[in-house]
Amino acid sequence: AQKVTQAQTEISVVEKEDVTLDCVYETRDTTYYLFWYKQPPSGELVFLIRRNSFDEQNEISGRYSWNFQKSTSSFNFTITASQVVDSAVYFCALPANAGGTSYGKLTFGQGTILTVHP
């Protein structure tokens, strides 16, 4: 069965600090996809990134970067120079494996609450 663990329940930082959110996953698939979503205080879920397992190149988008390590089953998310607007709950997610056929049913981690103080 798929499993996603976000061990950090809450993180609190001061503006301009860098912060890394951890995500560790379990899957029997040899190829798979991973996702990060953001849930700001307003409550909606916002897609951030999709990563496939056969591309280990790290990805950077502005202040956001992602470090995918297949060997340790981790897909960590770093925010550089954090801002108050980054305050949100962040979820890591992994699609299902149903009898060898992966499809979109997502298993989410428990989420990490990030609070950025001014």
Partner 1 sequence: NAGVMQNPRHLVRRRGQEARLRCSPMKGHSHVYWYRQLPEEGLKFMVYLQKENIIDESGMPKERFSAEFPKEGPSILRIQQVVRGDSAAYFCASSPMGAAKNIQYFGAGTRLSVL
Which tokens hold the place of 92? Answer: 């890591």
Residue 86, C-beta contacts closer than 8 angstroms, at least 6 positions apart: 79, 114, 116
Residue 101: CB minimum distance to partner 1, A: 9
Q: Does 64 bind partner 1 (CB under 8 A)?
A: no
How are beta strands 10-14 and 59-61 bridged, if at all?
Answer: unpaired
Q: Does 37 bind partner 1 (CB under 8 A)?
A: yes
Q: Does 46 bind partner 1 (CB under 8 A)?
A: yes
Partners of 15 in the beta sheet? none
Q: Does 95 bind partner 1 (CB under 8 A)?
A: yes
In angstroms, rounded to a whole number, what is the distance separating the alpha carbons of residues 51 and 34? 5
* Among 3, 16, 50, 63, interactor with partner 1 by CB under 8 A: 50
Query: Residue 62 region, left (φ>0) first, then alpha (ψ -120 to 50), else beta?
Result: left
Residue 90: CB minimum distance to partner 1, A: 11
Q: Which is nearer to partner 1, 32 or 75 (CB)?
A: 32
Residues that bind partner 1 (CB under 8 A): 32-33, 35, 37, 42-47, 50, 52, 91, 93, 95-96, 98, 102-111
